[in-house]
C-alpha cells in the first residue's frame, strides 16, 4: 500500500478578548501609531486575560479545528503544541491541553515543540512524519502563545510587536495520495542567539529582579536575516516539488512585519490578495501566527480543494522553514 499523505481536514483559532491598540501603547512608551503602522503594519494585538493561560488559548483553537474537521478528540493519535510560552516549565503544555480536551481518557501521546516563531512549521513537519509512516492517523497540531507575559513593557523596540493567540489544524491520513502536505523543509542556525533571545531562563538563571526573562531583539539585523531566509524557503519548496512560482495559489507566512511578508510575496510574484495577512490585527504571535492566518483564509472559503498553499516562518534560534500543502 502506498504511503499516506497528511491532509489538513480542519482549522481553528482563538484570540483573547482584550485588544491593545498602538494608541494605548503610545501612552506607555515613546512611540506612535504612525511609527508602528509604517514600520511593521501592526494596528492592534490581543492580550490574554489574567488567569488565561497558553493552554486555554490552545484548547479553544484545538476544539474549533476538531469541530471543523468533524473529528472527535477520542480519535486523535497524537497532540502537538508548538509554544515558547508554556504554562509551566513542566509538564508540557500539550499534556495540559490533552487533559483539558479530555484526551487523557485515551492516554493520547502529547508533547511540546519549541522552535519559537517557526514552531508550528516544525510541528507540522513532525506530524507529517508520524502520518506518513503509518504511526498515526489523526494528529492535532496547535500553535499557541501568551507572549505578553515575556515582554519588557518599557522596551519600545519589542513591546509593540507581539501579541497573544492560538491556531490549530487537524491532520488526517489520506490514502488518495494527491492532497495534503507535499513537503516540509526545516532549518536552524544557533550562531545568532544574541540577536533574539530572552534574558533569563531555567538553567542560566533569571534576571536580578527574579523574573523569567523578557524578549531582547536586535530588530534590524533579525529583519535582514528573516528576509533572506524566507526567500530561500520559497525557492527551496518550489525546487523540491518541481513547481514554478505561478503555480502557488496562497502564501501563508509568519506574521512578524508586513514589510517582510511583502518581500516574500514579491519573491513569489504573488499579489497581496493571495497572501494571508493578519499582522495588522494580531501582531506577531510567534508559533500561533501561521495557523491563525491559515484559519482566517480557510474559513473565508477562498482556498479551494487542490489549491497549493505555501506556509513559511522564521524566528528565534534562528529557526526557519516551510510547508507546502495541496489543499
The binding site for ligand UT7 (CB under 6 A) comprises 31, 35-36, 39-40, 117, 156-157, 160, 219-220, 222-223, 226, 256-257, 260, 284, 314-315
3-state SS of the chain: helix, strand, coil percent to 5? Answer: 40, 25, 35
**Residue among 64, 117, 185, 233 flagged as catalytic:** 117
Which among 22, 159, 185, 254 is annotated as catalytic? Answer: 254
Concatenating the DSSP letter of every residue in 149-172 gives GG--TT-TTTTTTB-EEEEEEEEE
Q: Which is nearer to ligand UT7, 260 or 265 (CB)?
A: 260
Nearest distance in Å: CB 147, ligand UT7: 10
- Tell me how far, at minimum, the Cβ of 149 lies from ligand UT7, in Å: 16
Q: Are 40 and 51 in contact (CB under 8 A)?
A: no
Residue with the shortest CB distance to ligand UT7: 219
In the complex, the smallest distance separating the C-beta of residue 85 from ligand UT7, rounded to whole angstroms, is 13
Strands 44-47 and 18-21: antiparallel
> What is d(CA 296, CA 13) in angstroms, rounded to the nearest whole number?
8
Which is nearest to 150 in space by CA: 226, 207, 208? 207
User: Nearest 5°: CA angle at 322, between 316 and 327?
Assistant: 140
Q: Which is nearer to ligand UT7, 35 or 197 (CB)?
A: 35
Catalytic residue list contains 284: yes
Which of 260, 323 has the CB closer to ligand UT7?
Answer: 260
Residue 289 Cβ vs ligand UT7, minimum distance, rounded to whole Å:
8
Is residue 22 among the annotated active site residues? no
**Nearer of residues 160 and 275 to ligand UT7, judged by Cβ:** 160
For residue 177, give Cα distances in angstroms to 10, 60, 172, 281, 306.
18, 30, 12, 36, 12
Residues annotated catalytic, as ranges? 117, 254, 284
Amino acid at each position: 500500500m502506498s504511503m499516506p499523505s497528511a491532509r489538513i481536514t480542519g482549522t481553528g483559532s482563538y484570540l483573547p478578548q482584550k485588544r491593545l491598540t498602538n494608541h494605548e501603547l503610545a501612552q506607555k512608551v515613546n512611540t506612535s501609531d504612525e511609527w508602528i503602522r509604517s514600520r511593521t503594519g501592526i494596528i492592534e494585538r490581543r492580550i490574554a486575560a489574567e488567569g488565561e493561560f497558553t493552554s486555554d488559548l490552545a484548547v479553544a483553537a484545538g476544539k474549533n479545528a476538531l469541530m471543523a474537521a468533524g473529528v472527535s478528540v477520542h480519535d486523535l493519535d497524537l497532540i502537538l503544541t508548538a509554544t515558547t510560552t508554556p504554562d509551566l516549565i513542566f509538564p508540557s503544555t500539550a499534556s495540559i491541553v490533552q487533559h483539558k480536551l479530555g484526551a487523557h481518557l485515551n492516554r493520547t501521546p502529547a508533547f511540546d515543540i519549541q522552535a519559537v516563531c517557526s514552531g508550528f512549521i516544525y510541528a507540522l513537519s513532525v506530524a507529517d512524519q508520524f502520518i506518513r509512516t503509518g504511526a498515526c492517523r489523526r494528529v492535532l497540531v496547535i500553535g499557541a502563545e501568551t507572549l505578553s507575559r515575556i515582554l519588557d513593557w518599557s522596551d519600545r523596540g519589542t513591546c509593540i510587536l507581539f501579541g497573544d493567540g492560538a491556531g490549530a489544524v487537524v491532520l488526517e491520513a489520506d490514502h488518495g495520495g494527491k492532497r495534503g502536505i507535499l513537503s516540509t523543509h526545516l532549518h536552524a542556525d544557533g550562531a545568532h542567539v544574541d540577536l533574539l533571545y530572552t534574558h533569563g531562563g531555567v538553567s542560566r538563571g533569571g534576571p536580578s529582579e527574579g523574573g523569567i526573562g523578557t524578549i531582547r531583539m536586535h530588530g534590524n539585523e533579525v529583519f535582514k536575516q528573516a528576509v533572506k531566509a524566507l526567500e530561500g524557503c520559497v525557492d527551496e519548496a518550489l525546487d523540491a516539488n518541481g513547481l514554478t512560482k505561478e503555480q502557488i495559489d496562497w502564501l501563508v507566512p509568519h506574521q512578524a512585519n508586513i514589510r517582510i511578508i511583502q518581500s516574500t510575496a514579491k519573491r513569489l510574484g504573488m499579489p497581496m490578495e493571495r497572501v494571508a495577512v493578519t499582522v495588522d490585527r494580531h501582531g506577531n504571535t510567534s508559533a500561533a501566527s501561521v495557523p491563525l492566518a491559515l484559519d482566517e483564509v480557510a474559513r473565508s472559503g477562498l482556498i479551494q480543494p487542490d489549491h497549493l498553499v505555501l506556509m513559511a516562518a522564521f524566528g528565534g534560534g534562528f529557526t526557519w522553514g516551510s510547508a507546502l500543502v495541496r489543499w
